Amino acid sequence: SRLKGLLAFFGGGALAAVMKSAGLAAVAAACAALSAVAWQRRGRWMLDFVNCDIMEETPVDPWPCGPNPLVPSLWTQDFYPAIAARALEVQKEHLPVLLHIGASDFGVDSKMYNHLLKQLTARGVIPELILVEPQTELIPNTTRKAKELPIEDRLQVINRAVDPACTGEPLKMYGWSSKIQEHFRRHVPILHNYVSSDRETILRAARGSVEDTHNPFGPEWARVCDWPNLTDYVEELAFQCETVPGLLSLAGARARDVAFLVVDAEGTDCAILREFLGLEGFAPAFIMIEDDIRAPCFYRHVWPQLRHRGYLLGKTIGGCNVVAVDSRLYRMPALQGALQWLKPLVPCSPEFCHNDHLA
């Protein structure tokens, strides 16, 4: 696969160089656009890249990190200049916002933000970090971990669920009851991460934990997921909620202030992003939501809108996170960008492509 990756990189790079030297950059761009339109008319929607990591400690490996060497591999730190550029635009009139909906206990994610905040500060950005979490019992720990970041006093931790269907009444959601802990051989601290407005999403997440090779509790989840009465351990919860406009109002921010957005809302991610996309001025440099590209909400509504606005789309390795990066602020490196010409050669695999005709 590495040999294929090298051939793709250098072959694509040579093609780009020839076209550039011939003064055909505009023709190349037009052909790429026509190719994308043709793909869409054929019912195929393909991701632009694989996001190789979301952690500070992950080293940048020049080799393709995904299963297909023809899909460009990009690293989270590649996007920092674009995030900074958008934040500096916002900063001319307001505090730029880094917004994370569904922060949970902010354990693993704090590592990503630590590196991001340092990079933004080095570029002259003074951002505000807004963390949103519906579970009241997690707020103290989330706040403590967030205050360890280089953010000074520009931090808000908001105790709310976010749902476009919120009416002001407590939002009904589902999570694991404490009874399930008794059936694990050891304490599972991440049980509180499984909260959703959809009961079935909780069960699907449990099954996903079995397949996740990075989950240390996978073998125990495998045993638990075989129970015929597993649904009996899912209980109904109630949380204060806000719509997206209500959340922004509560935070004292505008849609145009959001330079960076992460949504991890266990089942309502796509609906939340759709509501953001309907707000005037919303144009973050970086968006990440937990969703499946084959889900109807995503490929019918969100994917076309993001494409129309000029976003490159990718997914993270080892997770179900979809990443969008504003191509007006971020330029893919020449060699990776040249791989876009090879899209017609890439099979429409479920990991990177959706085919309307097969849906």
Tens of pLDDT, residue by residue over 60-82, are 555 677 767 777 888 888 999 99
pLDDT tens-digit readout, 244-282: 999 999 999 999 999 999 999 878 999 999 999 999 999
* 41 pLDDT higher than 50: no
Assess if CATH 3.40.50 describes domain 73-170+240-346: yes
Rounded Cα distance between 177 and 119, Å, is 40
Task: Compute the Cα dihedral for 144, 290, 347, 31 and give only its sign.
Answer: negative
* 17 pLDDT higher than 50: no
Rounded Cα distance between 273 and 7, Å, is 37
Locate tokens 């505008």: which residue? 254
What is the pLDDT, as a whole number, of residue 44? 60
Locate tokens 């934040």: which residue? 87
What is the pLDDT, as a whole number, of residue 15? 45
What is the pLDDT, as a whole number, of residue 197? 78
* 292 pLDDT higher than 50: yes
Of 261, 301, 264, 312, the closest CA to residue 283 belongs to 261
Q: Give residue limits of the domains in the chain.
A: 73-170+240-346, 171-239
Locate tokens 């299963």: which residue? 67
* 345 pLDDT higher than 50: yes
What is the pLDDT, as a whole number, of residue 350? 66
* 99 pLDDT higher than 90: yes
pLDDT band at 58 (very low <50, low <70, confident <90, very high): low
HSE toward the beta carbon, residue 284, CA cutoff 13 A: 25
Of 286, 312, 325, the closest CA to residue 36 belongs to 312
pTM of the model as a whole = 0.81
Q: What sections of 231-317 are H helices per DSSP?
A: 244-251, 269-277, 296-297, 303-308
Of 290, 303, 247, the closest CA to residue 99 belongs to 247
Average pLDDT, whole number, for the chain?
80
Between 85 and 22, residue with greater pLDDT: 85
Residue 219: CB partners within 8 Å, gap ≥ 6? none
Task: Compute the Cα dihedral for 5, 66, 52, 278 and give only its sign.
Answer: positive
* 179 pLDDT higher than 70: yes
The separation between the first and the last C-alpha atoms of the chain, rounded to the nearest angstrom, is 29
* 208 pLDDT higher than 70: yes
**104 contacts 193 by C-beta, under 8 angstroms:** yes
Of 78, 50, 74, 67, the closest CA to residue 4 belongs to 67
What is the pLDDT, as a whole number, of residue 216? 72
β-partners of residue 260 are: 98, 286
Rounded Cα distance between 128 and 19, Å, is 43
β-partners of residue 54 are: none
Both tokens assigned to 12: 């694509």
* 120 pLDDT higher than 80: yes
What is the pLDDT, as a whole number, of residue 55? 55
Q: Quick check: helix, strand or coil at residue 300?
A: helix
What is the pLDDT, as a whole number, of residue 243? 98
What is the pLDDT, as a whole number, of residue 152? 84
Q: Quick check: helix, strand or coil at residue 101?
A: strand
What is the pLDDT, as a whole number, of residue 265? 87
pLDDT band at 185 (very low <50, low <70, confident <90, very high): low
* 5 pLDDT higher than 50: no
Q: What sections of the chain are H helices per DSSP?
A: 2-21, 25-41, 80-91, 109-122, 139-147, 199-211, 218-224, 244-251, 269-277, 296-297, 303-308, 334-338
Proportion of the chain above pLDDT 90, given as a percent: 41
Amino acid, single-letter form, for residue 202? I
What is the pLDDT, as a whole number, of residue 324? 96
Phi, psi of 131 (to 5 degrees): -110, 135
* 110 pLDDT higher than 80: yes
**314 contacts 79 by C-beta, under 8 angstroms:** no
Q: CA separation (Å) from 61 to 52, 58, 318?
A: 9, 9, 16
Query: Which of 55-69, 302-316, 322-336 has the least mean pLDDT?
Result: 55-69
